[in-house]
Structure 1
Amino acid sequence: MGDQELSERVRLQRQQLPALYAVLDPDHVPERLALSLEDPSDLDDVRGADRAELLADAELVDLMVTATRLGDVVADSYASLLPELGMRRLVSMLRTACQEGLDAVDDAPEELRRFIEAMEATPDWVDVDQVREGARWERIDAALLTPFVIRGAFLATFLNAYAALPMALTGTLTGETSARRVKETASFFGATVLPGGTDRHGPGFEAAAMVRLMHSAVRVHAVRSGKWNHKTHGLPIPQVDQMPAGLINSFLISVKAVRQGRDTFDERERAMIELARYRCFLLGLPPELLPLDPHGVIRVFKARAATLRSAFDDETCGALVRSTLAARLHPDAGPWGRVAERFERSFATITFVRAFLQGDFDRAARMGVRVSRADQWRAVPMLPYLLGRVLLVRRLSRVPGLERLVDRYVVALLQRRLRGYGHPEYTARVG
């Protein structure tokens, strides 16, 4: 699919689902888009970033603008049945279709069939063997590292009011639901890296479908809520806003490769990139947002920040950040679990400030993220401990004769983590 085809796909949205997209002008430039150097953008706080060079790339900017207007018609059409069937029924039918097939769903609506068939239409560029190999490597991080950084990564999605507002409108990211959303995010990524996770009837395929339904339900609710200003915010949860979460690991891999002076990925990295690209396809992202080389991945990541107007609203962003920081992820874990969670929260908070706020602790404090001496004391020993374990397991995974034994250990640990996260609902309050 080329840029022209992607633009045409945006225009067709109004014909395919007028009930949702008729109010959206495919030519309108919403306020959220920062397309000139005078406009403040999310890239402004990134040291060493050349925003002028990115904005001078007309093709790249056009891609960001187009992806800001692109939704998910097949999932949105299914979510539009919410008033008629209710969220519980939509979730039940979707789970059955993922686990047992469409024929197992009684009176399956056509919207569900189109949704599942779109996910089943695996692109020609997907190398299944590489996807599986990428999952083998990525599940090491999912088992050993993700539980300690997922809270911080989740906080990063609330740094911009334009991007955070759709979820804020549902009221689902306050109180106990914040913990549920963090665990659901970890469950999604964990499910996709289990053996066979992204296979047609695998848990990762189902998790991707559930995430798409949740996003579409929020999108439909936002448009119908009467609180959504299309001229200001454009389309709720556009594909360009889903790209960072889908490619965060690819971005980190790419940064490492470029720092080492490489223009290509090594064998292990390439497999992990392939997994991320296929996972993004399952989530509905177009291939134009999924580059194959390190520089390309970094450019789309930075271009999204360069074209997103900077905005931090304490009522929206600050409240979401504070509720996520305060959330208890394992309330029934007992005394030892509470101690472990304090260490996790401290490590995730400091990781968030260093990775997403360029280490600016004053800026973090203004957002309601305060790092205490106790946080620093707890986080310091965790970094060598966590990274040391990951590096050791990666090294052992390369030893002939040990790789299967190590993988069984990682899978067992990951499955235990997933059980600890609980049964993910992937729903939002959209009534």
Structure 2
Amino acid sequence: MNPSLAQVHERIALQKSALPEMYGNIDFSQSPERYTECIEDSSLPESLRQMPPPPADMVGRVKAYTMLGDVTADAYAALMGEYGFKRLVEMLTTACDTGLGAVPDAPPELVALIEEMEAKPDWLDMDLVREGARLNRLPMAITSPWMIRGAFLATFLNKYTALPMAITGTLGYSTSARRVNETATFFTVTTLPGALEPHGEGFKAAAMVRLMHSMVRFNILRKVKTWDVSVYGIPVPQVDQMPAGLIDVFLLAYQMLGEGRTEFTAEERARVEFSRYRCYLLGLPEDLLMDTPQGIIDIMNARSASIREGFDDETCGTLVRATLEAYLPPDRKLGHRIFNALEKRLARLVLVKHFLGGDSQIAREIGVPVGPLDYAVAMVLFPYISAKMALYRFALSVPGLRGLADRRLTARIRRLLKRYGHAEFTTDAEAYRPAVPVTA
């Protein structure tokens, strides 16, 4: 059963006593400036503001989780002073690869993190998750390489939520490509066969992402004196992980309601359960992981409506430009240079279509102008991508071809992971810069 709202608030307040070195000076009874209850001031797109509002209890949970970090992973990250961040990464990697028994004198905080991730929620059906992973291999292998940068750009459109990434110094011009590729690596590797099982590649990637986010929280709250909790709230709160983890099923649910459907098909249910379990491994509270189309839409809209709208060029504009100009392939071979040039064109259109409501004027204002050449590239590439997807869908629907097609997709994903490079999922506090003052 989901915890009551009172229990949620107790869990949030517990951070203060459980981790006083991180949260001891934070007043969890106060809402940060980034939170708003006025939909006209929020980041919810205009096109969604006329929809019926989410249930009050859901709105209350989103508000509460705005101040929740990741208690279990935060406790492990707080050991940096004793072990150093490299040793923490090594112990976590070993525990994920071969088990806790392979880590001599494993600290209790590491044991708690691994055991929490290995615990199976009551709603979990691993057969559905495995089927969802299989179904997601097709778009991840064929479509996502062309779309990941555009989706990544969307995470920089709000100054309150983008600030932690700006502070860490890891999304400047020199390192933005690495973070885009690490993000692509995480979502890609989770679709491999068995990846989300204990000791699987996706399971380990989820653990590493949790540690990275906790390291960011620890370093910002401890070392960035200009971080104002009354303005920004907790760095990388749980609600800010929802868009990346649930965007695919949110778009699916929104499409379904437009078609007048309220029930998932068997394949859609598998895709939803895959995304929900992946989010669970990332530490998202279970009561944020809705399992109906309307529930998914409501929780995502409640989150967007809770964040005050705001775009500033120093934070958001810099991140957008750096990511858009980044060179993502691992080398300068002709084929990779051509891919990078074309993919950047599509990234602009992905951002405009899926995250800016189709408004090219807004895109121009934030430094992502869309021109005739972008549309010309799309007119050639989108039919090519669609045709390739259709051929694989046909092969996957034929019993005699399904296994071969899936093996080819798996091999393609392996090649993509090699191209994306080794994902470190770490953060270096020495590279952090001061927080930029934000005005409402």
Shorter-normalised TM range? over 0.9
Aligned to 1:82: 80
Aligned to 2:9: 7
Work out the CA distance in 1 between the residues paired with 2:86 and 2:77.
Answer: 11
Q: Secondary structure at the match of 2:400?
A: coil
Which residue identity does 2:125 align to in structure 1? Answer: D
Work out the CA distance in 2 between the residues paired with 1:137 and 1:331.
Answer: 28
Aligned to 2:438: none
Aligned to 1:169: 167
Work out the CA distance in 2 between the residues paired with 1:133 and 1:373.
Answer: 40
Work out the CA distance in 1 between the residues paired with 2:123 and 2:9.
Answer: 21
Aligned to 2:30: 28
Aligned to 1:41: 42
* CA apart distance, 1:285: 0.3
Aligned to 2:436: none
Work out the CA distance in 2 between the residues paired with 1:69 and 1:3.
Answer: 16
- Say whether residues 1:249 and 2:248 are aligned partners: yes
Which residue identity does 1:426 align to in structure 2? Answer: F
Aligned to 1:193: 191
Which residue identity does 1:121 align to in structure 2? Answer: A
Can you list the C-alpha shifts for 1:71-118, whole angstroms capped at 9, x where unaligned?
A: 101111111122332222111111111001111112322211111111
Aligned to 1:392: 391
The 5-angstrom pairing of residues 161-310 of structure 1 reads 161-224=159-222, 225-310=224-309
* CA apart distance, 1:46: 2.9
Aligned to 2:131: 133
The 5-angstrom pairing of residues 43-122 of structure 1 reads 43=44, 45-50=45-50, 53-54=52-53, 57-122=55-120
Q: Is the 8 A contact 1:3 1:63 kept in 2?
A: no
Work out the CA distance in 2 between the residues paired with 1:109 and 1:344.
Answer: 44
Q: CA 1:352/1:29 → structure 2, altered by over 3 Å: closer, same or farther?
A: same
Which residue of 138, 141, 144 corresponds with 2:142?
A: 144
* CA apart distance, 1:313: 1.3
* CA apart distance, 1:430: 1.7
- Say whether residues 1:334 and 2:336 are aligned partners: no
* CA apart distance, 1:338: 0.4
Q: Secondary structure at the match of 1:47?
A: helix
Work out the CA distance in 1 between the residues paired with 2:279 and 2:336.
Answer: 33
Work out the CA distance in 1 between the residues paired with 2:80 and 2:372.
Answer: 48
Q: CA 1:213/1:289 → structure 2, altered by over 3 Å: closer, same or farther?
A: same
* CA apart distance, 1:403: 1.1
Can you list the C-alpha shifts for 1:168-219, whole angstroms capped at 9, x where unaligned?
A: 1111111231111111111101111100000101000000001101111111
Q: Is the 8 A contact 2:13 2:28 kept in 1?
A: yes
Work out the CA distance in 2 between the residues paired with 1:287 and 1:395.
Answer: 35
Q: Is the 8 A contact 2:249 2:272 kept in 1?
A: yes
Aligned to 2:435: none
Q: CA 1:391/1:46 → structure 2, altered by over 3 Å: closer, same or farther?
A: farther
Work out the CA distance in 2 between the residues paired with 1:399 and 1:25.
Answer: 58
Work out the CA distance in 1 between the residues paired with 2:277 and 2:79.
Answer: 27
Aligned to 1:420: 419
Work out the CA distance in 2 between the residues paired with 1:380 and 1:67.
Answer: 42
Which residue identity does 1:75 align to in structure 2? Answer: A
Work out the CA distance in 1 between the residues paired with 2:36 and 2:359.
Answer: 23
* CA apart distance, 1:372: 3.2
Work out the CA distance in 1 between the residues paired with 2:9 and 2:384.
Answer: 47
* CA apart distance, 1:354: 1.2
Work out the CA distance in 1 between the residues paired with 2:426 and 2:163.
Answer: 17
Can you list the C-alpha shifts for 1:334-356, whole angstroms capped at 9, x where unaligned?
A: 11210111111111111111110
* CA apart distance, 1:333: 4.0
Which residue of 131, 152, 155 corresponds with 1:154?
A: 152
Work out the CA distance in 2 between the residues paired with 1:282 and 1:339.
Answer: 36
Can you list the C-alpha shifts for 1:298-328, whole angstroms capped at 9, x where unaligned?
A: 1111111111100111111110010000100
Aligned to 1:357: 356
Identity of aligned residues (%): 48
Q: Is the 8 A contact 1:40 1:309 kept in 2?
A: yes
Can you list the C-alpha shifts for 1:138-180, whole angstroms capped at 9, x where unaligned?
A: 0111100111000011111111111011111111111231111
Q: Secondary structure at the match of 1:176?
A: coil
- Give unmatched runs, 5+ long, in structure 1: none
Aligned to 2:433: none
Q: Is the 8 A contact 1:191 1:203 kept in 2?
A: yes
* CA apart distance, 1:252: 1.4
Work out the CA distance in 1 between the residues paired with 2:46 and 2:428.
Answer: 35
Work out the CA distance in 2 between the residues paired with 1:373 and 1:86.
Answer: 51
TM-score (norm 2): 0.94
| 284-293 vs 75-84, which moves further | 75-84
* CA apart distance, 1:331: 4.6
**Superposition RMSD in Å:** 1.4
- Give unmatched runs, 5+ long, in structure 2: 431-440
Q: Is the 8 A contact 1:137 1:394 kept in 2?
A: no
Q: Is the 8 A contact 1:76 1:216 kept in 2?
A: yes
Which residue identity does 1:27 align to in structure 2? Answer: S
Q: Is the 8 A contact 2:330 2:419 kept in 1?
A: no
Q: Secondary structure at the match of 2:329?
A: coil
Alignment length, in residue pairs?
A: 427
Work out the CA distance in 2 between the residues paired with 1:123 and 1:36.
Answer: 35
Q: Secondary structure at the match of 1:23?
A: coil
